[in-house]
C-alpha cells in the first residue's frame, strides 16, 4: 500500500490579492523613521506539499449525541439550561415534580421500620422460648436421673429378695430335715412329743418365711418394671423437651423476618432512586442541542426531553471511492477546510469502513478539534487528500519571498522585530513555495515586508 501524505490546502495559505510580493525582483524599501512601528501581516511556515491533491466533501456531525429522558414519568418542575449552553457531566438539566415520589419514600421508610420491629419481636420470642425449653430439658434430665436411681434401687431390692428366698429355702430344708429326724427319734422313744411338735412348728414357720421371701422377690421384680416404665417416660419427656428447645431456637422464623426487612430495604432504595431520578443530570460533557418542552409539560422515558451533543471533537464523514481507499490509514492527519466560516484545521482519521454503503463509497470518519465551538453540526467540509508520492517540505506563501541580487530571503517576525533569514526555494506554484532555511512555525512576514528592516519595530496585524 502506498504511504499517504496529507498536503496543506492551497486555500489555507492563500494570501489576498492585495498582498505586496517581491519575488523575482529586487525591491528597495522606502526610507522609514526608525521610531515608527510598521504594521505587517504574517503567515506560519508549515510542513506540507505543493501538490493540491484531491478534495472530498463531507458534513460535520456531533461526536456524540445523547437523548436525555427521565427514568420516571412526571411533570417538569424546572429547566436549568438553555439551548446552546455548554454543560459538564453531572450538571442538573431539569427536575420533575417529586411529590408522589417523596410520599413513596416515606411509605417505604415506614415499611422498613415495621419489618425491623417484627424482626426484633421474633428474636425476643425465640430467646424467651429457648429459655423455657431449656428449663424443660433440665427438668426432664432430673426426672431421667431419678428414674435411673429408682431402677438401681429396685434392682438392689430384687437382689436382696433373691438372697432372702435362698435363705428361707435353706431354713425350710433344715426344718424339714430336723422334723424328719425328730419323728424317727420319737418312734424310737428317744424324744418327746413336745420336741416333735416344736420341730413341726419350726418347719411350718420356715415354709411361711419362704413364701414371704418369694412374695417380696415378686414385689421387687415388679418395682424394677415400674422403675423401667418411669425411665421410659422420663426419656420421652426429655426428647419432647429437646424438640421444643430445637423449635424455640430455630432460625427459620428469624430468617423469614430478616428477609422481610431486606425486601423492605430494597423497596426503600428503589423509592429513593426514583426520587433521585427526579433530578435529571447531564450524562456527558456537551452542549444543549434541543429542549422539547416547557415547565409543566409531561416528560416520560418514551420521549427525549432534551438532546445533548458533544461537539468537541466534531466528526466529518466522507464516502471515499474505491480507487482512493489506499490513501487512508487510521489516525492519519488530514487538512479540513470549512468554507462557510473560512476555517482550516488539522483532523485525524478515526475509522475506515470496509463496507461500500449502497455503492456510494466507503465511509471514512475524521475527527477535528472544536474547543472554541466555532464549528457547528451540519457544516460542509472539504478534506484534501494528497498523493503519497507528493514531496513534503516547509511551505510558505510565495508573496513573502524577497530577492536581493539573486539571493532569496524572508523576514520572520520575532516579537516586535523583523529578522532577515536567507532561504532556498526548492519548489513553487502560483501561491506557495517550498523552501529550506526556515523552521516549522516561523512567522513569515507576507505583507509589509518591503517596508521593514532589522532596525525598525513591527506590529503584527490580523490577516483580512
Q: Using a pLDDT cut of 90, give the percent of the chain over it.
A: 36
pLDDT in tens, 307-317: 999 988 999 99
Domain for residue 77, yes or no?
no
Angle, nearest 10°, between helix axes 193-249 and 99-187?
Answer: 170
119 in the same domain as 57: no
Question: Once rounded to an integer, what is the mean pLDDT over residues 57-82?
Answer: 91
pLDDT band per the 50, 70, 90 thresholds, residue 334:
confident
Burial profile 17-34: b = 16 or more Cβ within 10 angstroms, e = fewer: eebebbbeeeeeeeeeee
CA distance 382 to 48: 17
Residues 360 and 224 in one domain: no
- Total number of domains constituting the chain: 2
Mean pLDDT of the chain: 84
Q: What is the pLDDT of residue 386?
A: 76
pTM of the model: 0.49
Give yes or no: residues 321 and 410 share one domain.
yes
**Domain with 324 in it: what CATH number?**
2.40.30.170
CA–CA dist 11, 58 (Å, integer): 17
Tell me, yes or no, whether 107 and 235 share the same domain. Answer: yes
- Residues 140, 231, single domain; the answer is yes
pLDDT band at 4 (very low <50, low <70, confident <90, very high): very low
Predicted confidence band of residue 35 (pLDDT cuts 50, 70, 90) = low
Asked, for residue 294, whether it belongs to a domain, the answer is no
Quote the CA–CA distance of 47 and 362 in Å, as a whole number: 28
- For the ranges 254-258, 338-342, 357-361, the lowest mean pLDDT is seen at 357-361
Residues 146 and 209 in one domain: yes
pLDDT digits (tens, 9 = 90+) for 202-239: 889 988 988 998 888 888 888 888 888 888 888 888 78
Model confidence at 17: pLDDT above 50: no
Please indicate whether residue 412 or residue 33 has the higher confidence score (pLDDT): 412
The angle subtended at Cα 372 by Cα 366 and Cα 373, nearest 5°, is 65
Classify 448 in phi/psi space as left (phi over 0), alpha (psi -120 to 50) or beta: left
Same domain, 45 and 120: no
Residue 21 included in any domain: yes
Q: Are 446 and 402 in contact (CB under 8 A)?
A: no
Q: Please tell me the distance from the alpha carbon of residue 94 to that of residue 307, in angstroms, as a whole number.
A: 12
Q: Are residues 56 and 127 in the same domain?
A: no
Which of 317, 427, 426 shows the shortest CA–CA distance to 367?
317
**Can you give the pLDDT at residue 249?**
67
Residue 411 scores a pLDDT above 60: yes
Q: Is 444 exposed, middle or buried (CB count within 10 Å of its CB: 0-12, 13-18, 19+)?
A: buried
What pLDDT was estimated at residue 464?
A: 54
The arithmetic mean of pLDDT across residues 426-431, rounded, is 88
CATH code at position 130: 1.10.287.620
- Per-residue pLDDT for 186 more than 90? no
Q: Specify if 281 maps to a domain.
A: no
Range of the domain at 230: 103-257
pLDDT of residue 141: 84
| One domain, residues 58 and 196 | no
At 463, the pLDDT band (50, 70, 90 cuts) reads low
Q: Is residue 298 part of a domain?
A: no
Asked whether residue 144 falls in the same domain as residue 201, the answer is yes
Residues 107 and 48 in one domain: no
**Percent of the chain clearing pLDDT 70 (strictly above):** 91
pLDDT band at 440 (very low <50, low <70, confident <90, very high): very high
In a domain, 286, yes or no: no
80 occurs within a structural domain: no
Q: What's the pLDDT score for residue 422?
A: 96
Do 58 and 122 have their domain in common?
no
Residue 301, in any domain of the structure: no
- Where does a domain end: 227, 242, 257? 257
Amino acid at each position: 500500500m502506498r504511504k499517504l501524505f496529507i498536503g496543506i490546502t492551497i486555500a489555507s495559505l492563500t494570501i489576498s490579492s492585495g498582498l505586496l510580493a517581491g519575488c523575482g525582483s529586487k525591491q528597495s524599501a522606502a526610507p522609514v523613521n526608525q521610531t515608527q512601528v510598521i504594521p505587517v501581516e504574517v503567515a506560519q511556515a508549515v510542513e506540507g506539499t505543493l501538490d493540491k491533491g484531491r478534495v472530498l466533501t463531507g458534513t460535520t456531525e456531533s461526536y456524540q449525541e445523547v437523548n436525555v429522558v427521565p427514568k420516571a414519568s412526571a411533570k417538569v418542575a424546572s429547566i436549568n439550561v438553555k439551548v446552546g449552553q455548554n454543560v459538564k457531566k453531572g450538571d442538573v438539566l431539569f427536575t420533575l415534580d417529586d411529590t408522589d415520589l417523596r410520599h413513596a419514600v416515606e411509605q417505604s421508610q415506614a415499611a422498613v421500620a415495621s419489618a425491623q420491629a417484627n424482626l426484633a419481636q421474633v428474636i425476643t420470642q425465640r430467646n424467651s422460648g429457648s429459655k423455657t425449653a431449656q428449663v424443660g430439658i433440665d427438668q426432664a434430665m432430673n426426672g431421667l436421673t431419678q428414674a435411673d436411681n429408682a431402677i438401681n434401687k429396685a434392682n438392689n431390692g430384687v437382689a436382696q429378695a433373691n438372697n432372702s428366698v435362698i435363705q428361707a429355702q435353706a431354713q425350710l430344708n433344715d426344718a424339714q430335715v430336723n422334723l424328719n429326724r425328730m419323728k424317727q427319734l420319737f418312734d424310737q422313744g428317744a424324744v418327746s412329743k413336745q420336741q416333735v411338735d416344736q420341730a413341726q412348728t419350726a418347719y411350718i414357720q420356715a415354709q411361711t418365711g419362704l413364701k414371704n421371701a418369694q412374695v417380696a422377690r415378686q414385689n421387687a421384680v415388679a418395682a424394677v418394671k415400674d422403675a423401667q416404665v418411669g425411665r421410659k417416660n422420663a426419656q420421652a419427656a426429655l426428647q419432647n423437651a429437646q424438640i421444643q428447645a430445637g423449635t424455640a431456637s430455630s432460625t427459620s422464623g428469624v430468617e423469614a423476618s430478616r428477609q422481610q426487612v431486606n425486601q423492605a430495604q430494597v423497596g426503600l432504595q428503589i423509592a429513593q432512586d426514583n426520587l433521585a431520578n427526579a433530578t435529571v443530570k447531564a450524562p456527558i460533557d456537551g452542549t444543549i442541542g434541543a429542549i422539547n418542552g416547557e415547565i409543566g409539560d409531561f416528560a416520560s422515558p418514551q420521549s427525549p426531553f432534551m438532546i445533548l451533543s458533544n461537539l468537541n471533537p466534531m466528526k466529518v464523514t466522507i464516502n471515499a471511492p474505491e480507487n482512493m481507499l489506499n490513501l487512508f490509514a487510521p489516525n492519519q492527519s488530514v487538512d479540513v477546510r470549512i468554507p462557510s466560516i473560512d476555517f482550516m484545521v488539522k483532523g485525524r482519521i478515526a475509522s475506515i469502513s470496509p463496507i461500500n454503503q449502497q455503492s456510494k463509497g466507503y465511509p471514512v470518519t475524521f475527527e477535528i478539534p472544536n474547543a472554541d465551538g466555532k464549528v457547528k453540526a451540519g457544516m460542509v467540509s472539504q478534506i484534501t487528500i494528497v498523493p503519497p508520492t507528493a514531496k513534503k517540505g516547509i511551505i510558505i506563501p510565495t508573496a513573502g519571498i524577497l530577492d536581493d541580487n539573486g539571493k532569496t530571503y524572508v523576514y520572520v517576525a520575532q516579537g516586535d522585530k523583523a529578522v532577515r533569514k536567507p532561504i532556498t526555494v526548492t519548489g513553487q506554484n502560483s501561491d506557495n513555495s517550498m523552501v529550506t532555511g526556515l523552521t516549522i512555525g516561523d512567522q513569515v512576514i507576507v505583507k509589509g515586508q518591503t517596508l521593514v528592516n532589522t532596525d525598525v519595530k513591527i506590529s503584527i496585524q490580523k490577516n483580512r
